[in-house]
Structure 1
Amino acid sequence: MIGGGSWGTALALTAWRAGRRVRLWAREEHVVDAVRATRRNPFLPSADIPDDVLVTNDMEEALAGADLAILVSPSQHLRAVARQAEPALAPDAPVVICSKGIERETGLLMGEVVAQVMPNREMAVLSGPTFAAEVAADMATGVTVAAAEDGFHDGHLAARVAVSLASESFRPYLSDDVRGVEIGGAAKNVIAIACGIAAGLGLGSNARAMVITRGLAEITALGLAIGARLETMAGLAGAGDLMLTCSSTQSRNFSYGQALGAGEEAVRRADGPVVEGAENAASVVALARKLRVPMPVCETVLAILDGAPVSASMKALMLADLHPEAVGAEHDWTTPHPARIEEEEERLSA
C-alpha cells in the first residue's frame, strides 16, 4: 500500500482482513514513527494497525517481493510517487490506482499519469463511496474496480483485485470502464465543496439536493465527452461517491466548502489532509472547457477558490439562463432568468 494517509491505512486494513500480507509505505517519517510506537496513524487515529502490517518509509522495503502495488497518494503527488515506486516493483506486478483527480500541469487522468511513469504494467483503478474511518472500522462498503480488458474472467485484473480485497464488509464490483470510474472520482470532490458552501450559507436541504443532482449531470456530461459509459456515472464510482462526499462533514471537501460558506478561514494546513476538490477544481474545469462541456457548478467553485464573493457567486448559479435539464440538451433552448433581468434593470435605474 503506497500512501500512508487515512485512505491508504484503511485499505491496508482491508487487505489484511482479507488475509493478505500487507506493507504500508508512508512518506512522512512522523507517521512511521507514530505507528511503530503506538500502532496508530495520526491521519487515522481511530484504527489499530496490526503488528504484522509492516509500516515503512523505505520504498524498496515496502515493495520487495510484492505481488501488487496499490497507489493511494494525493492526486498531485501521484507522478512523483509512481516514479519512485517503479524501479522497486517487480516487472510483472500490476498496480491499482486509488488516487482521484486530474494532474494540474498536464490535464491527464491518474491512469494516464501512471501509464507514462510505469509503462507496460497491468493497471486498474479503484473508486467508490468510501469514508476511510468507516472502512477502517470494518463497516459495510462497496467499491468499483476497473481494468481495461474485454470480457470478465478469473484472470481479469479487476477480478483478481476484487478477490484479493473482498471480505464480509468490503464488496468490490467489476468494471472495464476505467475512464468513467476515474472521472467520477476526479470531479465529485469539486461538487462536494459546492454542497458544503451551500450548507455554510444556510441554503437548506433543497439546495443541497439541487447541487448534487446538477453536479451529477455535469460529471456525466464530462464523462460521456471522454468516452465513459452512462451506467458508470450512475454507479458506485459516479452517483454513489458523489452522494457520500456531498452529504457529510466526514468529507474533507464538504467541510472545507462549509467553512467557506460560513465565512470562516478555511485554511488547508501544509501538514494536514489534502482537500482534493480544492486541488483539482482548476484541472477539472480546464478539461471541461477544452471539451466544451458546460460545468457551471464546478466553474463557480473555482471562482470562489480564486477569491470571488461566495454568496454572490452561488446566487449567480440560481439566476443563470433557464434551459432543459437533460444532459447534452442545455443549448436546445435557453432564456434569461426573469429575476436576473429585473435585478439588472433595478441596478441600471438606481
Structure 2
Amino acid sequence: MSDNERIAVVGAGAFGTALAAVITLTGKSQVTLVGRNAALMADLRADRMHDTALPGIDLPDSLQFSAEPDAISSAGIVLFAMPSQAQADAARHYGPYLAQDAVVVTCAKGIDKVSGDLLTDMLERELPRHAIAVLSGPGFASDIAKGLPTAMAIAAADMAVAERLAQAISGPTFRLYASSDRVGVQLGGALKNVLAIACGIVEGCGIGDSARAALISRGLAEMSRFVSAKGGKAETVRGLSGLGDLVLTATSHQSRNLRFGIALGHGETADPSHGELVEGAYAASIAARLARGLGVDMPITEAVSAIIDGKLDIPTAIEQLMTRPITTE
C-alpha cells in the first residue's frame, strides 16, 4: 500500500457513501463507490448528492461511481459497507473481481446470522486468499460525510496491515486507530447495538437516566466477558469500538438501535425487518445463543433478545435484572 492507492467502497448506503466521500477528501487515493443499483449510481454521478441517505451533503467531484463489479479490480483496499447479513453474499458476488493482493475491510457491526461467526471469520472462508480487516467505532454517517471530527478503530490480524490501512484511510477529520484485536473490535461494534436497544427501552419506559447509566456500565462488563471468552482482549471494548461506540449509540437519537428500543419501551411492535436497519435486533439473539454455549453470563443481552422475540415483557425483564443475586463489581 502507498499513496495514490486505489480504494473501492462497496455499498452505496449512508455509511458506505460517507466513507467514500471522506476518504476521497484526503486526496491520497482514487476512490470508487460501487453499488448494485445502476440507476442510483448514475444519479449519484450526475447530481453529486445522495438525497435518500445523506440529504443536503455534497459529494466530492473526484469521487467515482460504478454499478459494475469489475470496478473493484484495480483497488488495493476494498471496503465492504453493506449490512452484516449481506456481507456473505457480497463476498461471493464481488470476490471474483478482487485484485490478487487486495485487502478487504468489513465495515458492518454485526455477527453472521447463518453461521454465528464473526464477519472476519466468515469472509476469510469466502475469500481465503485475501487479508481481512474490520473498521468499527463511534461514527454516524452524516457526521463523517459532513467532515465533523470522527475517530474509529481498524483491526487486522497483522498489526502492520492495520497500521497501513489506518494511514491510507485517515484524513484531517477522520482518524483511525490501528489494532490487532479483530475479535474485540468486532464484538464491541456488534454488542453495543444490543445495549443501545436496552437503553432505548429504558428511555421509552421513562425509568430514568440512572437506569441508563447502569445499563451502559453493566453492559460494558458483559461485553468484556464475552470478548475474553471469544479469544479477544477485554481492554479493547473499553476503547473506541466498545465504550466509545456504546456511549454514542446509547445516548443519541441518530441511533437506529436506540430509536428501536424507545419504540419497544413505548409498547410498539417494532419489526427490525422493515424500514430502518436495526443491526442490534439481529445481534441480540445470535450473541445470546453464543454466550450460552460459552457459559458466559450476559443477562442484559438475554433480556433484549427475549423482549424482541416476544418471549418476555419489559416489566418482567426489568424485575428480573433488578432482583438478580447481589455480586461484587
Length-normalised TM-score, structure 2: 0.92
Distance 1:144 1:10 in 2: 16
- Preserved CA contact (<8 Å) 2:78 2:102: yes
Report the CA distance between 1:231 and its aligned residue.
2.1
Q: CA deviation at 1:10?
A: 1.1
Partner amino acid, structure 1, of 2:110:
G
How far 1:52 moved relative to its partner? 2.7
Q: Which amino acid aligns with 2:195?
A: I
1:37-75 deviation per Cα after TM superposition (whole angstroms, max 9, x unaligned):
5322212224222233222332123x1311210111111
C-alpha RMSD of the superposition: 1.6
Pairing 1:304–2:314 present? no
2:181 is aligned to 177
The CA deviation at 1:241 is 1.1
Any runs of at least 4 consecutive aligned residues in structure 1 with deviations exceeding 6 A, and if so which? Answer: none
Equivalent in the alignment of 1:72:
81
Matched pairs, number: 318
Indicate whether 1:203 and 2:207 are aligned: yes
Tell me which amino acid in the other structure corresponds to 2:57.
Answer: A
| TM superposition shift of 1:145 | 1.1
Structure 2 CA distance for aligned equivalents of residues 244 and 233 of structure 1: 14
Which of 27, 47, 63 is residue 53 of structure 1 equivalent to? 63
Q: Verify the 8 A CA contact 1:104 1:282 in the aligned structure 2.
A: no
- Which structure dedicates a bigger proportion of its chain to strand? 2
1:166 and 1:172 in contact (8 A); partners too: yes
In structure 2, give the amino acid aligned to 1:22: V
- Contact 1:18-1:164 at 8 Å conserved across structures: no
Letter in 2 for 1:134: D
Larger CA deviation: 220-229 vs 309-318? 309-318
Residue in structure 2 matching 1:290, options 290, 293, 304: 293
Partner of 1:260: 264
Query: Relative to 1, partners in 2 of residues 1:97 and 1:245: Cα closer, same or farther, differing over 3 Å?
Result: same
Cα deviation per residue 1:9-41 (whole Å; 9 max; x = unaligned)?
111112101112111122345532542453222
Distance between the aligned counterparts of 2:154 and 2:38, measured in 1?
A: 31
> Which segments of 5 or more consecutive residues in structure 1 lack a partner in the other structure?
326-350
Q: Does the CA contact (< 8 Å) of 1:3 and 1:24 recur in 2?
A: yes
Which protein shows a greater Rg? 1
Using a 3 Å threshold, how does the CA distance of structure 1 residues 48 and 225 change in structure 2: closer, same or farther? same
Alpha-carbon separation, structure 2, partners of 1:133 and 1:230? 30
Distance 1:141 1:105, change over 3 A: same
1:137 paired residue among 125, 146, 158: 146
Match of 1:276 in 2: 279
How high is the sequence identity, in percent, across the aligned residues?
42
Shift of 1:258: 0.6
Letter in 2 for 1:306: D
**Correspondence list, 1:187-202, <5 A:** 187-202=191-206
Paired residues for 1:44-123 under 5 Å: 44-61=54-71, 63-123=72-132
C-alpha contact 2:202 2:262 (8 A) present in aligned 1: yes
- Whether the 8 Å CA contact 1:43–1:273 is kept in 2: the answer is no
Q: Distance in 1 between matches of 2:163 and 2:238?
A: 21
Q: 1:274 is matched by which residue type in structure 2?
A: L
| Structure 2 counterpart SS, 1:49 | coil
Q: Who is 1:335 aligned against?
A: none
Give distance in 1, aligned partners of 2:305 and 2:173: 37
Q: Distance in 2 between matches of 1:39 and 1:269?
A: 30
SS at match of 1:144: strand
Instruction: Give the deviation of 1:100 after TM superposition.
Output: 1.5
8 Å contact 2:133–2:154 — kept in the other structure?
yes
CA distance in 2, matches of 1:51, 1:170: 19
Specify the code of the residue in structure 1 equivalent to 2:257.
N
Cα contact 2:272–2:281 (8 A) shared by 1? no
Alignment partner of 2:53 out of 35, 43, 48: 43
Q: Where do 5+ consecutive residues of structure 2 fail to align?
A: 1-8
Q: How far, CA to CA, are the matches of 1:176 and 1:43 in structure 2?
A: 32
Per the alignment, residue 9 of structure 1 pairs with 17
CA distance in 1, matches of 2:143, 2:67: 25
